[in-house]
Each structure stands twice: as structure tokens, then as C-alpha cells.
Chains A and B, each alone.
Chain A
Amino acid sequence: MKEWKYFFAQHRGALAAALLFFVMFTIYAVNHPAGLTPNVVQTAANKGVLLALVAIGQTFVVLTAGIDLSVGMVFVLCNCVASYVVAGSPTMVAFGIAAVLATGLFCGAANGAIVIFGRLQPIVATIASGAVYFGLALWLRRSPGASPKFSSDLADVMTGKVLGIVPSSGIFLAAIVLCVWIPFRRSPLGRAVYATGSSESAAYMSGVPVKRAKFAAYMFSGFFSALGGLFLTFFTYSGEASSANGSTYTLYSIAAVVLGGVSLFGGRGSAIGAVFGALAFRAIGDLLFVFDVDPLWQPLFQGTVLLLAVSVGSARLLGVRNKLELFS
């Protein structure tokens, strides 16, 4: 009983996000003209996975009490890279995917180096590095397009359905969480990330490798943004250096992370919460379509839901007895 309580307290944010997602998705599926068919789930999963991957990347950095405002631009850059290199024979495709992921890792490493060794504030540093990554994306793709030998077979597999029911992008997302996030969370490095985010000076005093943890967080952020970019290429069959896309995904990744119960002050939350946050955010956005509302109202609706969701956290103020507690 006690342990169950602790578990609940620790994962409150993630559980709330999961609940929100299931409620929203149920409303969505019930009211969808086609009903809850595999195709509806597939479309929803494909849209949700893009944001979920970027949000996982953002989670790593936010856990260290930093922020990565270049995730959207890395996402766009990797989309452009992938539209060139994920092509040709299976071997070449494999090397191409490795190249895309390496691009993301490199961007993450550059961010990490600037923030940790350059000692710049992550907000400003990643805004500036994001401009550089977007410039590179523009250089690669001045107009949207793809390599003529683009591997659409692989793309179809990754965005299709397994056994005709389960969306493969959803399976991929679950596999990533199981194979990367959970081992990471239990590793010394994962603990170092949480410790750094909780209190950097205390972590340093306890001999936690603070710099290594932060650097790893930025690398992971780049890596997952690259995965997102790769998936975007699978969905669209093309690469596009779209600045609007980049900034949208940066902002939505923060929204997803917050909805998923990850604290912007660091040290609290999990990637699983962020995944559900992302899926819930997408489900909310899609909700208006099934109710046949004028799409003009969609941004307002999404914004209002976001506003309400972030205001929920201030319910803790009801328990504040001493006004000084407000400022801590």
C-alpha cells in the first residue's frame, strides 16, 4: 500500500497526462465518422509520434533544468538530410539513417559544448544555434523535395500497420521508450541527470558527474529530434526547410513536456509523461476536426487548452500557508 502511494506520487504528472490522452482520444474516436478503425488509429499515431519523439528529446534537457529551443530546427535539418540520404539499396539506406542520427547527435553535442563549456545560458545559446541549424537546412533544401531514389518502401513500413491493426509507428515509439528511456532512467547517468536537475550544486558536491550528465542530455535531445525528423521524412516522402515547422515543434515540445508533468525547474518528470503529453496535445488538436468546427478556431482552442493545462499546476497554491513559500 505504501509503495503504491509513493509510485502514484512520483508519477502523478505522467498518469494525469495518460488519463487526459485516453479521455481525449476516446472522445475523438467515438465521434469520428469512421469510428475506431485501425486507419484512424494509424493516422493519429503517425501524427502523435513526431511530436512525441521531439518531446522525449526535450525531456532530457528539461530534466537537467536546462532548455533546448533548437529541437525544432534540428528536427527540420534532419528531415532535409534524410530526404537526400535515405535512398537506394538497403545498405545505403542503413548508412543514410546512421548519417541522419549522427547529424542529430552532432547538433546536440554542439549545443552541449556551447552550454557547458561555453557557460552560456541555454535559452539564448540554443536559440542562436537553432538559427545555424535552420540555415544548414535551407542550404540543403532550397525548395521542398526528395532524392529520386528515396526509399518509400521503408517509409511505408514505418508508417503502416503491423498485422493490419497496430500502427508500426506506435510500436516503434513503445520500443524506444522500453529500450532507451527505461535503461537510461536506471543507469548511473540517468540518476546523474535527475540529480543535476534537482540541485546542481548539491549534485556536484556529491561527486555526480554534472557536466557529463548535461552533455548526455543535449546529445539525447539532438538524437531524438533527429529520429523525429527521420519520421517526418517517412510521412511526407520529402524534406522541407520550413521555419514555421521548426518553431512550431519547438514550442509544442515544451507544451507536451509540461502537459506530461515534467517540471521546467528540472529533476522531476519522465519521458513517458512527455510522450503522453505529446499524444494528448495532438488528440486535443484533432478533436475539433471530428466535431466539424471551422478550422479557424483550432489555434484558439489548442491555445486555450494549453493555458488551462498549465494553470492546473497552480492548484498547489491552495496548500500554501506561509506567503514566503510562494517564492521558493
Chain B
Amino acid sequence: MPPVSSAATPRNRRAMNPNDLPIIIAFCCILALLLVGSLYSRNFLSPEYLLQQLKVGAFLGVIATGMTFVILLGQIDLSVPWSVTAGAMLGCAASAYGPIGEAFAIPFGVLCGVVIGTVNGFSVAYLRIPSMIITLAVNAVVQGLMVAYTGGFAPQDSATSSMRLLGAESTFWFVPNAVLVWAIVGAAAAFVLGRTTFGRAVYAIGNRESVAYLSGIKTQRIVVLTFILSGSLAAFGGVLLAGYAGKAAQSMGDAYLLPSIAAVVLGGTSILGGRGRYIGTVAGVILITLLQSILSVVQIQEFGRQIVYGVVIILMLLAYGREPETR
């Protein structure tokens, strides 16, 4: 059967999708940042530097992957800081229990994220508490647990060899393992979002949960699963980060909340949910990592870095992240 109109063919529709415009602009911004950086120093375009940036960005990338799912759902996960820290600390702590603990350190760290995500998801889906406030409260509880746990006695806090292998080392030639891990997680996320019923359901719920429910989607189950995904990816990011830094520390997750939200939004995903693609998050993560790197290389003081960071994010959002005029 011939197509009714040329615009209806899948190829053309994809080419004209206005939702992809922010992603294209985000990648253009990355090129512009690299250009600005290369004006300052020739090293900016060297493969070593770029790989190093990807490695630093990989941790944010893994954490922002979970955030992408939650934001597509129309919710937000503010428990990221202490999910990251809990994953890192308890993963490291598990290594104190002999070779078995050593072997299960990474799964145990991720399991903590699963538990946190389950509490978040259950409260949002079944108790109908706004995600903004419940994830905040869960974050406070996890923080309290971790403070009480580390305050009583000094737990094992150095990373296991398997964590170091994933977070800090390079197995294949010069590609850091963290980048490979991010690539695998990212490819899986893109596949799940674009090609599975679960991904479709996430988009559907993000657009309107009641309609998704009436179309036969078990929306509450999907919401719980999405929060579990977000919690476990945040904890996994923490495990990788502990491997990279060699040890777990109390406030290591604090620096990841705002960048992970900013990365998703800079990648063109609507914070209201239902609109966006994973590739946008990749662009957002790279953008933020490059921006932070340039700001630290250009040796301006901390206050200047904060100001430029904030202003650049606002300007980028003003350039392409604006909501449509509603009336």
C-alpha cells in the first residue's frame, strides 16, 4: 500500500521530529565548548584528554541514566546523593567480610540502591506522595543511616579490586573500563526506552498516567520498577566512583544531584515527563563534564566557576529548553 502522504512515512517523520532539535543543538554546544577549550590549550583536542573527560563523565552518565527514566515518567529522584554514597560505602563495607564479601561487594552496593528505589517507588506509586518530597525524605533517612553507621565504628572504606577494575583501570588497550560500563548501561537504556513495552509505558505514564492506566498499562508497577532502576543505577554509579577514587567518603554523592538533573534537561528531555531521548542525556552529560573541566582548567577561582556554571546552564536552556507558550 502506498503511503497516504510523504510526511507519514517513518523516515520523514523522524527527520522532522521537533523533539530532536534540542539534542542537535546540545551536540553543537559540545563542539563549541571544545572549540573554546582548544583556543585556550591545544591539549583539548587530544585523544587522551577527551578519553579522560569521558571517563570522568561516565560516573555522571550512569547516574543520569536512572534520572532520565524517572524524569521521563514525570517524576524526580532527589535521593540520588545518598543513594550514590550508600552504594559506595556499603559496597566497600562488604569487602570486610572475607573473600565472599569481596566477591559480592558490587552486587551488595547495587542492592542498597534497589532497596532505596523500592521505598521511593512504592511511596510514589501506591501511597501517591509527590516524588519531590518523598525522595527528599528518603534521602534524609539514608543519610541518617549512613551517619549513624559510620559514626559508631570505622567500617572498611577502601574499594575492592573489582571496583577498581571497573572504575579506574583500562583493560582494552587505552579505553577506560568506566567508559565501557557507561556504554553498556547507556545502550541498554536506549534499547529499553525505544524498543520495549516497558519503555513505551514509561513515556505513556509521563504523558498522562490516567490514560496509560485506562489503556491497560499496570502503571503503578512500572513506576516502582523505574524508581528501582534509578536507585540501583545511582548506587552502581557510587560503586564505580568508589573504585575510581579508591575509597568511599560521606559526601561523595552531593556533587551528583544537580548535574544529573541538569544533564537530562540539557539533553532536551522535558522535566514534565513523556518527552525526550536517551541520546540527549548522553549529550547533556558530555556537555556538563566538558564545562566543568574547562572551568577548572581555565584557573578561575571557585566563585567564578559557580557563576559561569549557573549562567551557562540558564543560557543553554533559554536557547533551546523553553516551554512552549501555553496560550
User: Taking A131-B306, A310-B129 as contacts, is the C-beta distance between A300 and B311 under 8 angstroms?
Assistant: no
Stretch in contact with the other chain, from B53-61, B84-92, B104-112, B131-139: B131-139
Contact of A304 among B130, B133, B144 (CB under 8 A): B144
Contact A124 B129 (CB under 8 A): no
Contact B136 A251 (CB under 8 A): yes
Write out the residue numbers on chain A whose beta carbons fall within 8 Å of the beta carbon of B95. Answer: none
Interface residues of A in 276-328 (CB under 8 A from B): 294, 296-304, 306-307, 310-311, 313-314, 317, 323-324, 326-328
Contact B306 A303 (CB under 8 A): no
Stretch in contact with the other chain, from B15-23, B27-35, B145-153, B226-234: B145-153
Does any Cβ of B come within 8 Å of A30's Cβ? no
Contact A120 B314 (CB under 8 A): yes
| CB-CB nearest in chain A for B317 | A120
Does any Cβ of A come within 8 Å of B258's Cβ? yes
Stretch in contact with the other chain, from A92-100, A134-142, A216-224: A134-142
Interface residues of A in 120-148 (CB under 8 A from B): 120-121, 123-125, 127-139, 142
Write out the residue numbers on chain A whose beta carbons fall within 8 Å of the beta carbon of B76. Answer: 123
Contact of A130 among B139, B305, B310 (CB under 8 A): B310
Q: How far is the CA of A127 from the CA of B137 in the complex (A)?
A: 19
Contact A300 B144 (CB under 8 A): yes
Contact A128 B313 (CB under 8 A): yes
Interface residues of A in 134-178 (CB under 8 A from B): 134-139, 142
Q: How far is the CA of A294 from the CA of B144 in the complex (A)?
A: 12
Contact A135 B140 (CB under 8 A): no
Cβ distance B281 to chain A, nearest Cβ, rounded Å:
14
Contact B317 A124 (CB under 8 A): yes
Cβ distance A75 to chain B, nearest Cβ, rounded Å:
16
User: Taking A124-B262, A128-B310, A296-B147 as contacts, is the C-beta distance between A314 and B303 under 8 angstroms?
Assistant: no
Write out the residue numbers on chain A whose beta carbons fall within 8 Å of the beta carbon of B272. Answer: 121
Cβ distance B221 to chain A, nearest Cβ, rounded Å:
13
| CB-CB nearest in chain A for B272 | A121
**Most chain B Cβ neighbours within 10 Å, of A131, A133, A314:** A131
Q: How far is the CA of A241 from the CA of B92 in the complex (A)?
A: 33
| CB-CB nearest in chain A for B210 | A327
User: Taking A119-B323, A121-B271 as contacts, is the C-beta distance between A327 and B219 under 8 angstroms?
Assistant: yes
Interface residues of A in 60-74 (CB under 8 A from B): 67
Q: How far is the CA of A302 from the CA of B261 in the complex (A)?
A: 26
Interface residues of A in 93-120 (CB under 8 A from B): 114, 118-120
Contact B129 A314 (CB under 8 A): yes
Contact A324 B214 (CB under 8 A): yes
| CB-CB nearest in chain B for A315 | B127
Contact B132 A67 (CB under 8 A): yes
Ranked 5 nearest A-B pairs via Cβ = A300-B144, A135-B306, A303-B140, A131-B310, A135-B307
What are 17 A-B contacts defined by CB distance under 8 Å? A119-B325, A120-B317, A121-B265, A124-B317, A127-B261, A127-B262, A128-B309, A131-B306, A132-B306, A136-B307, A137-B303, A139-B303, A300-B143, A303-B144, A310-B133, A323-B213, A324-B210
Residues of A within 8 A of B (CB): 67, 114, 118-121, 123-125, 127-139, 142, 200-201, 204, 241, 247, 251, 254-255, 258, 264-265, 294, 296-304, 306-307, 310-311, 313-314, 317, 323-324, 326-328
